C-alpha cells in the first residue's frame, strides 16, 4: 500500500470528453482519489460554456483561460500554464500530463524550477504524426521549441512498445521511458450473463476517421456476409467519415447487415450484445476500445500493427491480419464466424489477460512508482507476458 500523495492530472484537451486521453485521465483521477490520494485536474478552457472552477466525479477541475487568437492564443496558454505551475507547485508531489503536446513542451522548459516530478504520457500517433515529435516538422521553430522542452521532463509513460522504440530513436533517455499501458475499468466493462453465440455479431466502437480503416472493414464484410448471411456488423461512433461509410455500405450492397448507431452512451451494454470485436486500423497507440472489448470477454480480429500486437496474442485472444488486406480480414472474421466455441474460448482468455495486466489497480501501482521514482528501472509486467505468450 503506497502512502497517499498529491497528484495533478493535466489534460491538454477538452474535459470531460470521450477521447481516449480524456477518458483515461478521468478513470485514473477517480481511481487515485478513491484510493486515498489527493487529486486535482488542470485543463485549458476550450469550451467557454464550462466554468473555470468545476468538479467532475467529485474531483476539483480548474480550467485555464486564454484568448482564442490563432497562434498567439496557444503561446499565451502555454505561458499561463507555466506560471500556474510555478505558483502552485508546492501543492503537488507529481504532475501527470496526458499527451505530449503544447503543455508538455511548456512544462519542460520550467522543469528545473519545479519540485514535483513531471511525467507525460506518450500515446503514439497524435504526437508522431503532425505533433511535436513528428520528424518531418523538426525544423519548424514552434515544434523545435516544444520538442526541446519535452526532452526536459522527468519521465515518459509510453503505452506501447512501438512508442518506446520511436522515443529511443528520437534521442530520449532510456532510463526515463516506462512501458505503462492504459488502465481498463474492469467493473464497468465486465460481461454479465451468457453471450449469444448463435450467429456472428461483430462490433467496432470508435471515431470514423481514415486511420481506422473502416472502408477496408466494409469491403471485407462483403465476403463475410456471403459466407454467413446471418452475420451482422455494428460500426458505433461518429466522425468525418461516417456519411461516406454509410454510402459505401449501400454501394457494396451490405446495408442490411451493417448498422451505424452513432455515438453510444452505454458501451458495455453494446459490447455485451455482440460476440466479436473488429478493428482494421492502419495505426494505433494502445487501443482502449480493444482493451475494453477484451475486458468484456470478446475475441478480437485486428490488424497486425503496434498497439494491437501489444495486447492481442494471435490464435489465443484473437486473430491478427496484415493492414489494408480486406481478403485476409474477411478470412479471419469468417473463421471465427464458423467457430462459435473458439470465439467463446478466446473471449474468456482475453478477459483473464486484461484482468492480470490492465486492471486499474495494476496500472496505478506502476504509475505511483514512476511518480515517486521517475528514473528508476521500472516496466509493466505486460512486456514479459507478451514475450512469453508469443514463444
Same domain, 37 and 64: yes
Asked whether residue 194 is assigned to any structural domain, the reply reads no
* C-alpha–C-alpha distance, residues 209 and 173, integer Å: 33
* C-alpha–C-alpha distance, residues 104 and 78, integer Å: 9
Asked whether residue 46 is assigned to any structural domain, the reply reads yes
Same domain, 352 and 367: no
**pLDDT score recorded for residue 386:** 46
* C-alpha–C-alpha distance, residues 379 and 383, integer Å: 8
* Residue 131 pLDDT greater than 90, yes or no: no
Asked whether residue 306 is assigned to any structural domain, the reply reads yes
Same domain, 138 and 71: yes
Same domain, 163 and 264: no
Total domains, the chain: 2
Interval 66-83: pLDDT, tens: 988 887 888 899 999 999
Asked whether residue 70 is assigned to any structural domain, the reply reads yes
Instruction: Give 166's pLDDT tier (boundaries 50, 70, 90).
Output: confident
**pLDDT score recorded for residue 382:** 55
Same domain, 81 and 150: yes
Lowest mean pLDDT among 19-23, 187-191, 198-202: 19-23
Cα-Cα end-to-end distance for the chain: 34
Nearest to 203 by CA among 313, 141, 277, 100: 277
Backbone phi and psi for residue 307, each to the nearest 5 degrees, phi listed first? 100, -65
Asked whether residue 69 is assigned to any structural domain, the reply reads yes
Same domain, 299 and 162: no
Report the DSSP beta bridge partners of residue 157: 121, 178
* Residue 296 pLDDT greater than 80, yes or no: yes
Asked whether residue 108 is assigned to any structural domain, the reply reads yes
Same domain, 324 and 252: yes
User: Would you say 34 and 58 are in contact if contact means Cβ atoms under 8 Å apart?
Assistant: no
271-274 long-range contacts, Cβ below 8 Å, gap at least 24?
A: 271/189, 271/191, 271/203, 271/205, 271/296, 271/298, 272/191, 272/192, 272/193, 272/195, 272/296, 273/201, 274/201, 274/202, 274/203, 274/234, 274/298
Report the DSSP beta bridge partners of residue 359: 184
Q: Please state the pTM of the whole predicted model.
A: 0.83
Sign (positive or negative) of CA dihedral 75, 125, 352, 330: positive
* Residue 260 pLDDT greater than 90, yes or no: yes
Task: Give the pLDDT mean for 122-135.
Answer: 78
Report the DSSP beta bridge partners of residue 265: none
- 373 φ/ψ sector (left φ>0, alpha ψ -120 to 50, else beta): beta
Q: Which residue has the cell 454501394?
A: 251
CATH of residue 290? 3.40.50.2000
**pLDDT score recorded for residue 378:** 55
- 376's CB contacts (< 8 A; 6+ apart) are 369, 370
- 53's CB contacts (< 8 A; 6+ apart) are 60, 61, 62, 63
Domain that holds residue 240: 201-356
**pLDDT score recorded for residue 341:** 95
Asked whether residue 282 is assigned to any structural domain, the reply reads yes
Q: What's the order of all strands across the beta sheet hosting 38-44?
A: 53-56, 59-64, 38-44, 6-11, 94-98, 117-122, 155-158, 177-179
Same domain, 32 and 158: yes
Asked whether residue 189 is assigned to any structural domain, the reply reads no
Same domain, 142 and 56: yes
Same domain, 124 and 261: no
Query: Percent of the chain, pLDDT > 70?
Result: 95
**Average pLDDT, whole number, for the chain?**
91
User: Would you say 29 and 9 are in contact if contact means Cβ atoms under 8 Å apart?
Assistant: yes
Interval 198-226: pLDDT, tens: 999 999 999 899 999 999 999 999 999 99
Instruction: Give 389's pLDDT tier (boundaries 50, 70, 90).
Output: very low
Helix axes 340-357, 382-389, angle to 10 degrees: 150
**pLDDT score recorded for residue 29:** 98
Structure letter (DSSP) for residue 57: T
Same domain, 67 and 102: yes
* Residue 249 pLDDT greater than 90, yes or no: yes
From the centroid of its chain, how far is CA 69?
30
- 65's CB contacts (< 8 A; 6+ apart) are 45, 52, 80
Grid cell in block for residue 204: 467496432
**pLDDT score recorded for residue 59:** 98
Backbone phi and psi for residue 61, each to the nearest 5 degrees, phi listed first? -125, 130
Q: Tell me the DSSP string of 184-231.
A: B-TTTT---SPPP-SS-EEEEES---GGG-HHHHHHHHHHHHHH-TT-
Instruction: Give 21's pLDDT tier (boundaries 50, 70, 90).
Output: confident
Same domain, 326 and 364: no
Amino acid at each position: 500500500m503506497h502512502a497517499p500523495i498529491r497528484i495533478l492530472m493535466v489534460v491538454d484537451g477538452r474535459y470531460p470528453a470521450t477521447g481516449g486521453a480524456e477518458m483515461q485521465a478521468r478513470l485514473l483521477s477517480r481511481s487515485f482519489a478513491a484510493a486515498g490520494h489527493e487529486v486535482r485536474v488542470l485543463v485549458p478552457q476550450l469550451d467557454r460554456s464550462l466554468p473555470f472552477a468545476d468538479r467532475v466525479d467529485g474531483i476539483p477541475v480548474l480550467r485555464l483561460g486564454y484568448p482564442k487568437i490563432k497562434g498567439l492564443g496557444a503561446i499565451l496558454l502555454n505561458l499561463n500554464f507555466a506560471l500556474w505551475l510555478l505558483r502552485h507547485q508546492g501543492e503537488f508531489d507529481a504532475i501527470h500530463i496526458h499527451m505530449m503536446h503544447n503543455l508538455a513542451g511548456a512544462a519542460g522548459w520550467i522543469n528545473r524550477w519545479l519540485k514535483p516530478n513531471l511525467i507525460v504520457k506518450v500515446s503514439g500517433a497524435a504526437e508522431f504524426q503532425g505533433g511535436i515529435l513528428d520528424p518531418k516538422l523538426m525544423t519548424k521553430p514552434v515544434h523545435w521549441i516544444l520538442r526541446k522542452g519535452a526532452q526536459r521532463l522527468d519521465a515518459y509513460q509510453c503505452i506501447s512498445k512501438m512508442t518506446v522504440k520511436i522515443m529511443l530513436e528520437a534521442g530520449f533517455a532510456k532510463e526515463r521511458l516506462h512501458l505503462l499501458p492504459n488502465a481498463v475499468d474492469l467493473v464497468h466493462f465486465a460481461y454479465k450473463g451468457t453471450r449469444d453465440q448463435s450467429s456472428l455479431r461483430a462490433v467496432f466502437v470508435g471515431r470514423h476517421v481514415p486511420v481506422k480503416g473502416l472502408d477496408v472493414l466494409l469491403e471485407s464484410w462483403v465476403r463475410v456476409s456471403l459466407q454467413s448471411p446471418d452475420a451482422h456488423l455494428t460500426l458505433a461512433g461518429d466522425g468525418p467519415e461516417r456519411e461516406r461509410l454509410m454510402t459505401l455500405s449501400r454501394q457494396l450492397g451490405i446495408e442490411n447487415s451493417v448498422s451505424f448507431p452513432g455515438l453510444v452512451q452505454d458501451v458495455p451494454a453494446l459490447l455485451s450484445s455482440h460476440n466479436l470485436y473488429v478493428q482494421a486500423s492502419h495505426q494505433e497507440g494502445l487501443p482502449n476500445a480493444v482493451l475494453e472489448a477484451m475486458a468484456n470477454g470478446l475475441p478480437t480480429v485486428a490488424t497486425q500493427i503496434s498497439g494491437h500486437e501489444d495486447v492481442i496474442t494471435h490464435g489465443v485472444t484473437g486473430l491478427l491480419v496484415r493492414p489494408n488486406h480486406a481478403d485476409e480480414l474477411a478470412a479471419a472474421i469468417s473463421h471465427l464466424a464458423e467457430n462459435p466455441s473458439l470465439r467463446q474460448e478466446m473471449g474468456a482468455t482475453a478477459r483473464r489477460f486484461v484482468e492480470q495486466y490492465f486492471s486499474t489497480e495494476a496500472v496505478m501501482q506502476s504509475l505511483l512508482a514512476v511518480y515517486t521514482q521517475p528514473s528508476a528501472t521500472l516496466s509493466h509486467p505486460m512486456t514479459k507476458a507478451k514475450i512469453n505468450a508469443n514463444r
